[in-house]
Each structure stands twice: as C-alpha cells, then as structure tokens.
C-alpha cells in the first residue's frame, strides 16, 4: 500500500503537457528511475545483472505432462516455470486450457520443484483466481492494450509480465507498461515475442533490436520469447543466445517432455535434452556479457 501511495504521488507531481495532457514518458522512463529495476521472484532475480530462463509447456495438459516437464526444467537449471491454464487460441475449437485445474497442477509443480511459476491472465474476472496460484501474472500479446485489464493488474501484488502485441509499436508497448505502473504496481517485466511482418518463413519476426531500444528507454527488465517468435524449435536456441548477446535480461522458452504429443505449440517446444544443451551454452556465454546465471 505504501509503494502504491508513493507511486500515485510521483504521478501527480509530474509535469502536465499541452492542453492538460500528461507527458508521453513517465514512470517507465529512465528519467524517473535511472537504475535498472531488478524484480525478485522467489529465489530468482529478474533484471540486470541476472539472465533468467523461464521455461515450460505452452499449456498445462495433464498432471503427468506437467510434472515430467517441470522436472526437466528444474534439472536443466532454469529459474522459473511457465504453463498456461487459460489459453487464447486463434480457433475456438482448439484446446483452451484446463482453467483452475491447470492452476492447481501448476502450483503442485512449484511445490515439487521449488520453481516460481508464471501463467497468463485473459480477463479481469480471472485476476483474483490466478493471483492466488501464480508468482508472476502474464499478459499475452492479444491483451497488451486491454487497458481495463492493465489497470486492474496495477492493483495486484504480483509482478506482471507484458508481452508485446503482434503489431504494437515500442511507444505503445511502453505506454501499456505505464498503465500498470501508474495504477500502483512497480513490478513490470517487458517481453519481446516477435511481431507480424510480411515474412512467412517464421511464425513471427523477432525484433531483436527492440531489446536495445527498450533497455535505453526504460529501467524495466526486458526478456525475449524466441519460441513464439519463430514457431520452430530449430531456431529457438540461436535466438536465445542472440537475446543474451544483445542485452536482454532473460528468455521465456517453451519446453515439453513429449512435443509430438503436445496439445498446442509442439513444433516450437524444446525437448528436455535440447533444453539441457541450450542451458549449458548460455552458462558458458553469460560471463562474456557480464551476466549472472
């Protein structure tokens, strides 16, 4: 509550722009907070100088699938576990997630492994339920400009991870973060996950330069999701390494114990042995870029 009151005071004391409008850059900018923000989530630290790996399946499908994958993520040395309980899908006939049962399985995986967990919220009505089970609340690309949702998430106690929208500019992306910050929640993480372009060789086009621009303009942690950017597991590893090299604070990748059996995003999900190799490479690279893993 004290942090929220201080945030509101900072907002109120900022200068007013022409015609009474607020200036475009406020709490997210380095002008208001010059040092990098580092967000503690259980034993993990998201933000410089740490490089954090968030890994897990696109969706929670069953207890066996979730526990086997969670064990693989833990054994590989990743810092957080991901898994979707409510899934936004292009087709209404595709698997939509297990809902609260999926959240319960995710919580069981946390107890089993000790890894903090992250899951996606799709609607304001789900916030209280999801907050009770998760350590980080994820806002997906389709909801990054759902301002009613963002304002309500600004009143939660949990960190919020914002994924960049399919056709969202960096200015728009940062202002979405501002909605959460201005509502009182200072724990915001930005995620570049690829944008829609004319190119069809990959699922989306990873805007790796966005990391450089965002790190220059904001103190908030910036991570990269190479899995959704390319949609093909063959390319996930090289792009994960590129994210480390360009200055990202971490990556979010999809991992599934048996990708061929996955109910969604199996083609872009790493197998456990592929995650092991990637983690080994990242741990070798991290010191070269002044990062801790």
Give the tens place of pLDDT for each residue, 248-261. Answer: 999 999 999 999 99
Q: Which pLDDT score is estimated for 46?
A: 98
**Model-wide pTM > 0.95:** no
Mean pLDDT, rounded, of the chain:
90
The arithmetic mean of pLDDT across residues 167-181, rounded, is: 97
Separation of alpha carbons 15 and 277, rounded Å: 50
Residues 124-142: tens digit of each pLDDT: 999 999 999 999 999 999 9
Residue 280 belongs to a domain: yes
Query: Does position 24 have pLDDT exceeding 60, yes or no?
Result: no
At 18 the pLDDT is 40
What pLDDT does residue 26 have?
Answer: 86
Q: Please tell me the distance from the alpha carbon of residue 58 to that of residue 205, in angstroms, as a whole number.
A: 19
* 28 occurs within a structural domain: no
Going along 113-179, which residue ranges are E strands? Answer: 117-121, 136-139, 160-163
- Tell me how many domains the chain contains: 1
CA 4 to chain centre: 22
The answer to the question of residue 58 being in a domain is yes
- Residue 242 binned pLDDT confidence (cut-offs 50, 70, 90): very high
49-92 pLDDT, tens digit per residue, is 999 999 999 999 999 999 999 999 999 999 999 998 876 656 66
Task: Look at residue 20 and tell me if it is in a domain.
Answer: no
CA contacts within 13 A on the Cβ side of 109: 37
Residue 157 has which token pair? 């106690």
In a domain, 77, yes or no: yes
Domain that holds residue 209: 51-284
CATH of residue 196: 3.20.20.70
CA–CA distance, 196 with 151 (Å, rounded to integer): 26
Q: Residue 289 is encoded by which pair of tokens?
A: 């870029």
**Residue 39 within a domain:** no
Residue 63 belongs to a domain:
yes
pLDDT tops 90 at residue 170 = yes
In a domain, 22, yes or no: no
Q: The tokens of 65 are what?
A: 């699938």
pLDDT at 108: 96
């Amino acid at each position: 509550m004290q942090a929220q009151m201080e945030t509101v005071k900072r907002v109120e004391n900022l200068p007013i722009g022409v015609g009474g409008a607020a200036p475009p850059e406020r709490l997210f900018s380095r002008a208001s907070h010059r040092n990098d923000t580092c967000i503690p989530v259980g034993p993990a630290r998201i933000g410089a100088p740490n490089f954090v790996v968030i890994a897990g399946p696109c969706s929670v499908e069953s207890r066996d699938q979730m526990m086997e994958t969670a064990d693989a993520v833990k054994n590989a040395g990743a810092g957080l576990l991901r898994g979707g309980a409510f899934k936004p899908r292009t087709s209404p006939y595709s698997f939509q997630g297990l809902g609260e049962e999926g959240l319960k399985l995710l919580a069981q995986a946390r107890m089993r492994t000790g890894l903090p967990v992250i899951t996606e919220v799709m609607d304001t009505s789900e916030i209280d339920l999801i907050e009770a089970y998760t350590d980080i609340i994820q806002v997906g690309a389709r909801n990054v400009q759902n301002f009613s949702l963002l304002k309500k998430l600004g009143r939660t106690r949990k960190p919020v991870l914002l994924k960049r929208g399919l056709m969202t500019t960096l200015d728009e992306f940062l202002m979405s973060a501002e909605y959460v910050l201005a509502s009182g929640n200072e724990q915001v993480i930005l995620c570049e996950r690829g944008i829609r372009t004319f190119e069809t060789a990959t699922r989306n086009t990873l805007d790796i330069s966005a990391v450089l621009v965002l790190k220059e303009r904001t103190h908030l942690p910036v991570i990269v999701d190479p899995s959704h950017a390319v949609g093909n597991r063959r390319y996930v590893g090289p792009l994960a390494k590129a994210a480390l090299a360009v200055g990202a604070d971490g990556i979010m990748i999809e991992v599934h114990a048996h990708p061929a059996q996955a109910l969604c995003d199996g083609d872009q999900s790493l197998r456990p042995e592929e995650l092991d190799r990637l983690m080994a490479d990242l741990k070798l690279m991290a010191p070269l870029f002044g990062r801790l893993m």
